[in-house]
Amino acid sequence: MAIDKDAVTVSPREQPPPNNSNDDASYKRDPVSLSGGHSPSTLLRTFLTTTLERIVPLTQAGVDSGAKVFGAAIFDKKQPPAAESGGILREVTVGTNTETASPLLHGEIQTIQQFYGMPKAEGRPDAKDTVFFATHEPCSLCLSGITWGGWDNFFYLFTYEDTRDAFSIPHDIRILEEVFRVPSTCAHETASDLSSRPLYRAHNAFFSSYSCAELLAMIPASDAGRGELVEMWDEGQAGGSFF
């Protein structure tokens, strides 16, 4: 695939430490500001609709060819959701993993490649002006890909634990534990302290990230559309429509 030459000018977008502190809480940015002003309800509707209507069909074709079930999508932050699209964000590109071609082509990486394969001259937005969604909490490879690609956000449907338990894929957790989890030099750290540490910083100088469950929890019970979102979620999970 030809990659647009403008892509080489992209570098990770680091935010200065807020309040002179680099703890996770001070880096945490809320989904509305991360997405350029869209509500948790609009974001969740966008992600569930896209998963069901766009990623599942693509993924099915991938599974038929021997790949695993992972997909991702990128949306325009700046364009207001159109009524004719059901009030969801404009999709820039959507992709699924093509690991039969290379073990590195996870859904997120494939989608990033598609994004940077779109000519800038033909209207590809900057990564910073887009919202990144992955069906599964990104692995260490994809966390880095999203960071190197210039995104300041990502959202995901299934957690690492879901991936391990429901999809029988333990590699995300195992690689993070084995490669990146460096024991503290502090003698007070117990094995239990080490194993209870988060596997990555969900909020850091480069990005803030949220699960769809966190988005759902932010939508007030009084929100008129909440029930419909919960139904989409439940039907997808119960009926196995998600995968």
Query: Which residues lie near Zn ion (CB under 5 A)?
Result: 106, 139, 141-142
Give least dist CB 99 to Zn ion, A.
10
For the bound state, the minimum distance from the C-beta of residue 71 to Zn ion, rounded and expressed in Å, comes to 11
- Whose Cβ is closer to Zn ion: residue 104's or residue 230's? 104
CB 108 within 8 Å of CB 72: yes
* Cα diameter, the chain: 60
CA dihedral 127, 167, 52, 103 (to 10 degrees): 40
- Residue 164 Cβ, how far from Zn ion at the closest point, in Å? 14
169 DSSP assignment: -
Nearer to Zn ion, 74 or 139 (CB): 139
Q: How many H helices and E strands in the chain?
A: 11, 5
Secondary structure (H, E, C), 47-103: HHHHHHHHHHHHHHHHHHCCCCCCEEEEEECCCCCEHHHCCECCEEEEEECCCCCCC
- Cβ nearer to Zn ion, comparing 32 with 176: 176
Least distance to Zn ion, CB of residue 103, Å: 10
Which of 68, 106 has the CB closer to Zn ion?
A: 106
Nearer Cβ to Zn ion (81/156) = 156
Quote the least distance from Cβ 63 to Zn ion, whole Å: 16
